[in-house]
Structure 1
Amino acid sequence: MARRFRGESQHKVDSKGRVSIPSFFRRVLEAGDPDWTEGLRPQLVIVYGDHRRKFLECYTIEAIDEVDDKISKLPRGSIERRMLERLFHGQSIPTEVDGDGRLVLPQKLREKIGLDKEAFFIASGDTFQIWHPETYEQEELAKTEAWLDELPEGVDPLSFLDGVGGA
């Protein structure tokens, strides 16, 4: 099983759109790039997607290859395949980590999510997301807290894993 991204952090974005990637995320990017070796820059794909996405989702090469494989299994010419190709192939940018451990986020992507001086990174398994810190707090953190508040008293969210995968 591939390594997973873990954790969250906030980093400054400079005027050229450069932002440091958390060092523990860089190790996962390296492990998830089959062509990476010491001295090379790990590759990744940033999916910015449709108008509903208020974040950038960063995929390791292995993770995006898995998505691509699933898309290619859909019937050629189907609306589902065409739309997923558009969202994951057309609305994405292949890139690499620079020599200083940073991503350079193009202006178009920064404008899409309203990113200016700070970026919030949060792990999401085999991907990580980049958010404007206030957007994340107002929308995603609020959703998580509301979901937890709706659980009956004493319910541990880990209990939802019982029985997953036929166990």
Structure 2
Amino acid sequence: MTDRFVSNFTNRLDAKGRVSIPASFRAILAKDGYEGLYVHRAIDLPALDAGGHALRATIDDILARFSPFSDEWELLSTALNGASEVLKVDPEGRIMLSEALRTHAGIGEAVTFVGLGHKFQIWDPERFQAHLETARTRLRDVKRVLGSQPLSVPPAGTATS
């Protein structure tokens, strides 16, 4: 078992508005030991960021870069802490997304869970597919740029480690 959220899974909401967290994600959350599921609106995407202690630690690391009296700290803390929710995970591994979270992500009858290593995102499936295509296009552009740059080769006779 890995300790990173990877892959993506699409699940439907049930009649009560609950959705099952993928089993592999639940296993990572259980290993992490966080009570519930920490969720906040993604800052610049129509998605939700979710996770446990690893996500909380990343947020704390980001906030530690700023003075707690700075505007930047205040804005980040408001977005990442003040507008967050801790969702209860039921014994079957389901969560219920609040109306505010569903509205932000444009979630209707299904969600796509997307692993991002230390956290995962929750998307509307169609919005995720569009985001994935944009990401692939941008990565092809990055690959072309990197591929056109010469490799850094040390001069002849220079020792390398």
**Equivalent residues in 2 for 1:53-132 (5 A)?**
53-72=45-64, 74-132=66-124
TM-superposed deviation, 1:6: 1.3
Structure 1 contact 17–106 (Cα < 8 Å) conserved = no
Point out where structure 2 has 5 or more consecutive residues left out of the alignment. 148-160
Question: What root-mean-square deviation, in Å, do the aligned CA atoms of Structure 1 and Structure 2 show?
Answer: 2.4
List, as ranges, runs of 4+ consecutive aligned residues in structure 1 with deviation greater than 4 Å.
none
TM-superposed deviation, 1:108: 1.5
Aligned to 2:5: 5
Deviations 1:31-78 (A, max 9, x none): 1126xxxxxxx422101144x430011021232134224414521210
SS at the partner of 1:152? helix
Structure 1 contact 33–62 (Cα < 8 Å) conserved = no
Point out where structure 1 has 5 or more consecutive residues left out of the alignment. 35-41, 156-166
Aligned to 2:40: 47
Q: CA 1:145 to 1:15, structure 2 compared with 1: closer, same or farther past 3 Å?
A: same
TM-superposed deviation, 1:112: 1.7
Corresponding residue pairs, total: 146
Rg larger in 1 or in 2?
2
Structure 2 contact 87–97 (Cα < 8 Å) conserved = no
Structure 1 contact 44–61 (Cα < 8 Å) conserved = no
Aligned to 1:14: 14
Q: Distance in 2 between matches of 1:116 and 1:85?
A: 28
Aligned to 1:146: 137
Comparing 17-26 with 108-117, greater Cα deviation is found at 108-117
Q: Distance in 1 between matches of 2:55 and 2:33?
A: 9
Structure 2 contact 49–122 (Cα < 8 Å) conserved = yes
Deviations 1:73-99 (A, max 9, x none): 521210110011111111110123211
Q: Distance in 2 between matches of 1:95 and 1:47?
A: 10
AA in 1 matched with 2:31: A
